[in-house]
Structure 1
Amino acid sequence: MQNHHMRRAGGMLIVLYYTRYAINLITKYCCVTQLLSFEYI
């Protein structure tokens, strides 16, 4: 039982890590596109 619970907790951690990574990528992409658009104006 405990092993199964640990595996589920690990899966949750992995999902959290990947969502944080995706959010970081999206914010970086938004910042870059904003900077580029400001340069073009």
Structure 2
Amino acid sequence: MRLAIQYCPYCGEQDLHPQESPEGAWRCADCRSTFVVTGVVA
């Protein structure tokens, strides 16, 4: 199960889209950065 993140860690915008590869990757449409979220937040 993938949880949606709320903000880009690079620019702070909210226009984020999940990517198929690599696992856990997200792409920011505003700054065009791709980043991977790992780990579990309790």
User: Over alpha carbons, which structure has the higher Rg?
Assistant: 1
Task: Decide which structure has greater strand share.
Answer: 2
Specify if TM > 0.5.
no
- With the shorter chain as reference, the TM-score category is under 0.3
Q: TM-score, normalised by structure 2?
A: 0.14
Task: Decide which structure has greater helix share.
Answer: 1
